[in-house]
Structure 1
Amino acid sequence: MKIFVALISAAVSLLAIEPIVTAQWLNEHKNDTNLRIIEVSEGDLYGLEHIPNAAHTTIAKWRFDNGTFLSIRPVADIEKEISALGIDSTTDVVLYAPINDPKDVLKTSYIYWALNYHGIKNVALLDGGLKTWKNGKLELTQAEPTIKPTAFKASIDSAKIADITYVKNHLGKLPMIDARPSDMYLGVTPTPTVKRNGHIKGGMSYSWNYSVDKEYMLKPKTMLESVFKEGYSLDKNKEVLVYCTGGLETSFNYFVLSGVLGYKNVRLYDASMKEWGNHDDTPMSQYRYEMFKK
């Protein structure tokens, strides 16, 4: 009987949470023992009000200034934060933010990617963030949950990240998607903190915000499927590399492709243009849209 129960528990833990959840779903499951709700916010927003049972984190606990640009923190730092949040490899995680600025959405998608990269697979975003919860007149609290830390050890998935050498070696060999606004991709508008204007040679343009409406609700999955299959000729079973200015914008494209649409091999260039565009010898293009042709 004990073996049977153990097998059932293992099977349940393998059932992945949907990558985007509604406020109604989260309200129904907020007390699930295997679910950890995480608010990503700055300042005192979390203390003023948050979803019941939600723990709290900030983007600074996942990214740091490495002296040149912001990047993912060392593995030991990430393990410490994941453990403090009560998460292990079997936990279902829902991330949300009080969306007062577009970057608030991107902070949740970046942590979504960071969790995947460190071996946490069952992760979701709350569609529309805290606003959809409030619109549903659902309960809010100031009470902080009691969290039992885990002894989490990362299982790094190196296929989810790229460095500058990897990008150089794969130019023209795989599709690359730039998540910045199209004017910055084209180079007609400078990208702040980036010396050279334009985009990685051969990169395609798809601004991350094309995937959401004005309330930051995800657009229909069927439309997104068509965009990337018909418009960008992507193959779900082949690798695609995503990048932006410095890791945040592109994390939403990672979320849509890898999470919502189920692309098998999406690799994020964390340093992105803050590295590539500040080198003098990296291949770049300007003033034209490009499509991947191998």
Structure 2
Amino acid sequence: MKFFIVLLSVITSVLAIEPIVTAQWLNEHKNDANLRIVEVSDGDLYSLEHIPNAAHTTIDKWRFDNGTFLSIRPVAEIEKEISVLGIGEKMDVVLYAPINDPKDLLKTSYIYWALNYHGIKNVALLDGGIKAWKNANLELTQVEPSIEQTAFKAKIDSAKIADITYVKTHLGKLPMIDARPSDMYLGITPTPTVKRNGHIKGGMSYSWNYSVDKGYYLKSKAMLESIFKEGYRLDKNKEVLVYCTGGLETSFNYFVLSGVLGYKNVRLYDASMKEWGNREDTPMTQYRYEMFKK
């Protein structure tokens, strides 16, 4: 019997956490030794109330202004933040936000991608954010947990990111998905901070918010599977590149494709249109939808 319990514990420890978890599941597991809960919020929201045992981070600890656009911080800085949060390579991580604005959710999906990119694979988002927790009448606290820092060293997965050279050399060779609203994709409505209107030549339109309902709960996996398989004709075993205005919106498409649906090779163009659309040497299309043709 004792052997069976130990074996079960070992098996459980190697199973990856589901990419989206419910408030009920998180409440049942919030004290697990191998689980780190992280709130992503600004201001004093965390100090006012947070989920028990949750650590705290802000998006500016993961992104910085490089003088041209916002991008992921240098590896050493990300390693430091991951260590401060007490996250180890094989730990499970659940990210959540007080979703008072769509960008609040996008900040969690961006950090989801950043963790994957730096070698943390078992990451999840709390479905519905802290509002789901409140709706379930679960405990909130002002007590900050005592967190033992780790000495995390990144294992960079270069297949998770694209730069402008990579995008240019792969135009027409792999599917690219634009996460901005369709009017910005078409170039009918200008994208703030982007000089040229339209989208990357050959890019397809799928606004990130199509994947969630009004309460920011993820739509059904079956429907999302159908959208990308039947509608966009994507192959889970082949590469897909995702982009948006500047990294945030597309991180949710990354989360859906790579995490929820299990696409094997999803690459995020972090600089996105803030780089591509502000140059004159980058091919763009305006006023029409495009589909990738194999």
Name the TM-score class by shorter chain: over 0.9
Q: Any residues of structure 2 matched to 1:84-99 within 5 Å, and which?
A: 84-99=84-99
State the 1:126 CA deviation. 0.2
- Residue 192 of structure 1 is matched in structure 2 by 192
How many positions carry a matched residue from both structures? 292
- 1:171 to 2:177 alignment: no
Partner of 2:14: 14
Percent identity between matched residues is 87
Could you give the per-residue CA deviations for residues 58-80 of structure 1, whole angstroms, max 9, x where no partner exists? 00000000010000000000000
The alignment partner of 1:132 has SS state of helix
Q: CA deviation at 1:258?
A: 0.2
Match of 1:212 in 2: 212
Q: Which residue of 2 aligns with 1:278?
A: 278
Letter in 2 for 1:100: N
Deviation at 1:14, TM superposition (A): 2.4
Contact 1:203 1:291 in 2 (8 A): yes
Q: Structure 1 residues 10, 67: closer, same or farther in 2, change over 3 A?
A: farther
**CA separation in 1, counterparts of 2:201 and 2:9?**
48
- Matched AA of 1:88: G
Q: Can you list the C-alpha shifts for 1:84-135, whole angstroms capped at 9, x where unaligned?
A: 0000111100000000000000000000000000000000000000000000
Q: Cα distance, 1:151 vs. partner? A: 0.8
For 1:22 and 1:238, how far apart are their aligned partners in 2?
Answer: 30
1:277 partner letter: G
- Looking at structure 2, the residues matched to 14 and 153 of structure 1 have their Cα atoms a distance apart, in angstroms, of 20
What amino acid is aligned across from residue 166 of structure 2 in structure 1?
A: Y
Query: Take 2:85 and 2:9, find their aligned partners in 1: how far apart are those partners?
Result: 22
**SS across alignment from 1:124:** strand
Residue 77 of structure 1 corresponds to 77
**How far, CA to CA, are the matches of 2:225 and 2:281 in structure 1?**
36
Indicate yes or no: 2:43 matched with 1:43. yes
Deviations along 1:192-211, one digit per CA (max 9) or x if unpaired, are 00000000000000000000
With 17-26 and 7-16 compared, the bigger mean Cα shift is at 7-16
What code does the residue aligned with 2:21 have? V
Quick check: 132-141 or 7-16, which moved more?
A: 7-16
- Give the corresponding residue for 2:144: 144
Deviation at 1:281, TM superposition (A): 1.0
The separation in 2 between residues aligned to 1:6 and 1:173, in whole angstroms, is 49
SS in 2 for 1:273: helix
- Provide the aligned C-alpha RMSD in A: 1.5
Partners of 1:270 and 1:24 lie apart in 2 by 33
C-alpha contact (below 8 Å) 1:48/1:142 kept by paired residues: yes
Give the match for residue 236 of structure 2: 236
Q: What is the CA–CA distance in structure 2 between the aligned matches of 1:11 and 1:121, rounded to whole Å?
A: 17
Deviation at 1:12, TM superposition (A): 3.8
CA distance in 1, matches of 2:92, 2:45: 24
Amino acid at match of 2:135: N
SS in 1 for 2:225: helix
Q: Could you tell me how far apart the structure 2 residues matched to 1:8 and 1:131 are?
A: 33
CA distance in 2, matches of 1:62, 1:5: 39
| Residue aligning to 2:268 | 268
- Amino acid of the residue matched to residue 149 of structure 1? Q
**Match in the other structure for 1:111:** 111
What residue identity is the alignment partner of 2:30? K
- Whether the 8 Å CA contact 1:13–1:90 is kept in 2: the answer is no
User: What is the Cα deviation at residue 142 of structure 1?
Assistant: 0.1
Paired amino acid for 1:292: F
1:56-67 correspondence runs (5 A): 56-67=56-67
Unaligned runs of 5+ in 2: none
CA distance in 1, matches of 2:173, 2:13: 37
CA distance, structure 2, for counterparts of residue 100 and residue 42 of structure 1 = 11
SS at match of 1:282: coil
Aligned to 1:259: 259
| Secondary structure in 1 matching 2:36 | strand
| CA shift in 2, pair 1:10/1:214, >3 Å | same
What's the CA shift for 1:9? 6.5
Residue identity matched to 2:137 = K
- Give 1:10 deviation, angstroms: 5.9
AA partner of residue 168 (structure 1): K
Q: Please state whether the residue corresponding to 1:95 is helix, strand or coil.
A: strand
TM-score (structure 2 length as normaliser): 0.97
- Quickly say closer, same or farther: Cα 1:247–1:35, change in 2 above 3 A: same
